Chain A
Amino acid sequence: MTSLVHRARSTVPLISRIVAALVGGYALAALVSVAVLALPIGRPQAVLVGQLASFAVYAGAVIWVFAVRSAAKAWTGLVVVVLALLPLAWWGAR
Chain B
Amino acid sequence: MTGRGVEVEDDPRGAGRGIRQSMSGLHTWAGLLLGWILYAMFLTGTVSYFKDELSQWMRPELPRLQQLPDQAVVAQRVADELGIIAPGASQWSLRLPDARNNSVYAFWLGATRGPGRRGFAEGHFDPATGHSVSSRDTLGGDFFYRFHFQFYYMPVLWGRLLAGVAAMFMLVAIVAGVITHKKIFVDFFTFRWGKGQRSWLDAHNALSVFGLPFHAMITYTGLVTLMALYMPWGERAAFKTPAERQQLAAELSAFLQPGKPSGQPVPLASVEAMVRQAQQRWGHDAIGRVNAVHPGDAAARVAVTRADASRVSMSPQSMEFDGTTGELLAVHDHVGAAAETRGVLYGLHLGRFSDTVMRWLYFLVSLMGTAMVGTGLVMWTVKRRQKLPDPHRPHIGFRLVERLNIATIAGLSVAMTGFLWANRLLPVALPARAGWEINAFFIVWAATLLHALLRPARSAWVEQLWGAAVLLGLLPILNALTTARPLWRSLADGDWVFAGVDLMCWALALLHAVLALRTARHGAGVRSSTQRSPTVALASGEGAR
Contacts and interface: CB of A to CB of B under 8 A. Distances in A.
A30 interface: yes
B469 interface: no
Contact of A66 (B25, B235, B342): B25
B220 interface: yes
Contact of B12 (A14, A30, A41): A14
Contacts of A30: 231, 233
Nearest to A48: B338
Interface string A1-34: 0000000001101100100000000000110011
A36 B234 contact: yes
A51 B339 contact: no
Contacts of B15: 13, 69-71
Interface string A59-74: 1001100110111000
B171 A47 contact: no
Contact of A55 (B168, B228, B251): B168
A32 B167 CA distance: 20
A59 B251 contact: no
B237 A93 contact: yes
B27 to A, nearest CB: 10
B175 A59 contact: yes
Contact of A43 (B220, B227, B238, B339): B238
Contacts of A51: 224, 227-228, 231, 234-235, 342
Interface residues of A, number: 38
A67 B244 CA distance: 41
Interface in B152-175: 168, 171-172, 175
Tell which of A45, A49, A71, A93 has the most Cβ of chain B within 10 Å. A45
Contacts of B128: none
Interface size grouping (class) on chain B: 35 or more
Contacts of B456: none
A43 B23 CA distance: 37
A52 B25 CA distance: 27
A45 B12 CA distance: 41
Tell which of B12, B175, B224, B235 has the most Cβ of chain A within 10 Å. B235
A59 B164 CA distance: 13
B22 interface: yes
Contacts of B237: 34, 37, 89, 92-93
Interface string B106-138: 000000000000000000000000000000000
Contacts of A55: 168, 171, 220, 223-224, 227, 230-231
B244 A43 contact: yes
Interface string B235-251: 10111000010011001
B336 A45 contact: yes
B520 to A, nearest CB: 39
B244 A45 contact: no
Contacts of B175: 59, 63
22 contacts: A14-B12, A14-B13, A34-B234, A34-B237, A43-B239, A44-B338, A45-B337, A45-B338, A47-B234, A47-B235, A47-B239, A48-B336, A50-B231, A51-B231, A52-B338, A62-B172, A63-B172, A66-B22, A66-B176, A70-B15, A92-B237, A93-B237
Nearest 9 pairs of A and B residues by beta carbon: A93-B237, A48-B338, A50-B234, A33-B234, A45-B338, A44-B248, A51-B227, A45-B336, A54-B231
Interface of A: 10-11, 13-14, 17, 29-30, 33-34, 36-37, 41-52, 54-56, 58-59, 62-63, 66-67, 69-71, 89, 92-93
